[in-house]
Amino acid sequence: MNRQNILVTGGYGCIGAETTKWLLRNSDASVVICSRSVSAERTERVFHDVDQKRLTVLKADVTDQSALLGLLIEQKITRVVHLAALQTPDCNAHRDFGLQVNLAGTQNLIEAMKASGLPLERFIFASSVAVYGPRAAYPEGRVSMLAEPKPVNVYGAWKLAGENISRFFYEETDIPTLSLRPGVLYGPGRDAGLTASPTTALKQIALGQPYEIPFRSRQDYLFAPDVGGAIGNAVLEPFDGYGVFTLPSRTLATEEIVETMRQVATDMGLAEQFKITIGSEEVPFICDLEYAPFVSAFPDTPHTPLDQALRTSLEVFLDQAQRGWIEK
């Protein structure tokens, strides 16, 4: 394989940062991340635990197609991971801006890739399990990866549309393209969105503060560094055609993940700092999703055991608390 120059849009975000770190640790690729706003301080905070010699950070907005085109050409990009997007709350509150970033921004990037004339080798579009409907809309047991999408909000609708225009991109260019559908992320880097509260709970354990997770329901949980590894594998390993995949997850009730938090905190000598409770709200998000096809296509994808992932997360948040990066 020739030396890769990989563009990661939204590289400061949770998935973007973990994907970038995985690529820097597990390949010889150079990684270019872009964001609407960049700073040396933010770069150091996000990537302080990884060698930054092959990392380039650039300011670029996905609503600016000409800037994207220039970036692709100047950096001689060979593969693209598109993660830049507004999350559900911002999409609901600012629908026009959400449309411009999440859907038009994806089309802008696609048009820039086509116009660049570069011999691109892979395009990854970050979709979401939000393309599915509520769990009650599907039969019991494992939900097929290709079950009928029934998005319940504009975020999911735009992600589904993004999958379709990504498929059109493949059909027009023959560049191998994947749409990946992560579920509920937890762990380092997660700090926003409807389902960030389990991660917030971990941070509050590190701070010794009480916190109530507002919902009790079953969801598909993914450890953020594992998602970075999944995308890293998907962008580098052999693949032909167009594919849609859900990623490896664990279907857990809120009570299960909180009880494992308690056990891990106790094992780490933090029993007195565990002050986590659970609210009564039910979240009807999809869960029980099939992910075996992705593992079959990319067998080296990491899938960290829950207790180990929670311990690693707590260790990170204890360090961040000491540094003053998370506060009471």
pLDDT for the residue 328: 61
DSSP classification of residue 272: G
Share of the chain above pLDDT 90, in %: 89
Per-residue pLDDT reduced to its tens digit, 98-119? 999 999 999 999 999 999 999 9
pLDDT for the residue 313: 96
pLDDT above 80 (res 310): yes
Secondary structure, 3-state, 40-62: HHHHHHHHCCCCCCCEEEEECCC
pLDDT for the residue 193: 65
Report d(CA 190, CA 180) in Å as an integer. Answer: 18
Type of residue found at 257: I
Secondary structure, 3-state, 207-222: HCCCEEEEECCEEEEE
pLDDT for the residue 191: 78
What domains appear along the chain, each with residue ranges and CATH number?
5-185+224-249+284-304 (3.40.50.720)
Question: Structure pTM?
Answer: 0.95
Type of residue found at 204: Q
- Give every strand in the sheet of 218-223, ordered side by side: 184-186, 218-223, 250-253
Structure-token pair, residue 158: 């735009």
Per-residue pLDDT reduced to its tens digit, 241-283? 999 999 999 999 999 999 999 999 999 999 999 999 999 888 7
Per-residue pLDDT reduced to its tens digit, 80-103? 999 999 988 899 999 999 999 999
Tally of CB atoms within 10 A around 146: 11
pLDDT above 60 (res 1): no
Are 127 and 181 in contact by the 8 Å Cβ rule? The answer is yes
pLDDT above 60 (res 177): yes
